[in-house]
Amino acid sequence: MLRHRVLSGIRPGIWNRHLSVLAKSLKYTQHGEPQDVLQLVEDKLSDPKDNQVLVKILAAPINPADINTIQGKYPVKPKFPAVGGNECVAEVICVGDNVKGLEAGQHVIPLASGLGTWTTHAIYKEDQLLAVSKKVGLAEAATSTVNPTTAYRMLRDFVQLSSGDTVIQNGANSAVGQAVHQLCRAWGLNSVGIVRDRPDIAELKQMLQCMGATEILTEAEIRTSDIFKSGKLKKPRLAFNCVGGKSATEVSRHLDNGGVMVTYGGMSREPVTVATGPLIFKDIAFRGFWMTRWSKENYSSAERSKMFKNIFDLMEQGKFVAPNHEMVPLDKFQDAAAAALNFKGFTGKKYIFDMSI
């Protein structure tokens, strides 16, 4: 256990030197399947210095990008040995002498990618962290920097939408898809989602509609639906694709004139195929989006601060909840990683390492 006491004359948040902190981390020294290359190792952490912050990780999710990074299939290539994970929520334990904006007891999330968050404790720099209200739930805070922000930027940056406009997306039960539904509801937009058919389709539709989806259709249903032709909903001006292949082609057919499809993933590992008719006669456009790139380009921008404020305000108000998830202990990483690989992002269930105890 970390033991500390407040020193006389020291401002709040700076504590005396501790005995030692033993961090348990999921590390890997080569690329491969997570269950094969990840190892739970222990390291002693030194005291934070200068602008450093020592934190205890409370919760950290497993994202598809985390799995791809470990496999060596992601554009980000870590230096070995590397700690897995990019997202988390943590509690500040103590800070270095030059830290001005954070103090012990605060909850924080990482602003930078590639820090390695699948660990019980870590030392980060102050400018790599953002303070978060404790009113925000652990699961919400832990999953706030990738999926909600991806949904937010795609809804804001490609088409100027107004209340009553329609957005359509495949992979509508993914974590990003769930975020899109919730933001659309908060902003007065119609959210139409496409999912694969499955035995529990009725329950899935109900869950997504409770999150804010206006309509959920299977891949077979969208091909015959008259939801737009009948005028029930406006034709979508914006579409999101995380699947690729035939699914992306079908979604693009429903775009209105001048509509835009934004691709942010390719779960089917099939290319995006453009339908010639809509491309020519509707003049639809195809764009790509990568949240990591946007974050690097806007690291300290006012727009990024505004985005997080808007998202956390919705979370505090209970208008935005974490994606469907399961909390798992860190030492069960092999089972969790295998399950995440088997689901391939299609089930809409996220696994989150729980280190809050």
The residue with tokens 């806007």 is: 298
Closest among 261, 259, 304 to 282, alpha carbons compared: 259
The span from the CA of 312 to the CA of 109, in Å, is: 12
Is 33 in the same domain as 51? yes
Number of H helices, E strands in the chain: 12, 18
Measure the CA angle with vertex 36, ends 139 and 337; round to 5°: 20
**Does residue 344 register a pLDDT over 50?**
no
Is 68 in the same domain as 42? yes
Q: pLDDT digits over 116-142, tens only?
A: 999 999 999 999 999 999 999 999 999
Q: pLDDT digits over 272-284, tens only?
A: 998 899 999 999 9
Inside any domain, residue 316: no
Mean pLDDT calculated for residue range 63-75: 93
Is 163 in the same domain as 270? yes
Residue 343: per-residue pLDDT: 54
Inside any domain, residue 304: no
Of 292, 311, 342, at which residue does a domain stop? 292
User: Where is 142: in which H helix or E strand?
Assistant: helix 138-142
Q: pLDDT digits over 82-97, tens only?
A: 999 999 999 999 999 9
Inside any domain, residue 3: no
Q: Tell if the pTM clears 0.85, that is, is over it.
A: yes
Eight-class DSSP state of 127: G
- Catalytic sites, residue numbers: 74
Is 158 in the same domain as 129? no
Query: The domain containing residue 45 runs over which residues?
Result: 21-143+322-354
Is 236 in the same domain as 193? yes
Single-letter amino acid, residue 121: H
Is 156 in the same domain as 283? yes
Phi, psi (degrees; rounded to nearest 5) at 71:
-70, -15
Single-letter amino acid, residue 241: N
Is 168 in the same domain as 266? yes
**Does residue 10 register a pLDDT over 50?**
no
How far CA 168 is from CA of 116, 196, 247, in Å, comes to 34, 15, 12
Closest among 103, 85, 86 to 94, alpha carbons compared: 103
Q: pLDDT digits over 272-328, tens only?
A: 998 899 999 999 999 999 999 999 999 999 999 999 999 999 999 999 999 999 999
Q: Kindly report the CATH number assigned to the domain that includes residue 156.
A: 3.40.50.720
**Does residue 16 register a pLDDT over 90?**
no
Which pLDDT band holds residue 9 (cuts at 50, 70, 90)? very low
- How is 219-263 classified by DSSP, letter by letter? HHHHHH--TTTTSSSPPPSEEEESSEHHHHHHHHHTPPTT-EEEE
Closest among 106, 133, 60 to 317, alpha carbons compared: 133
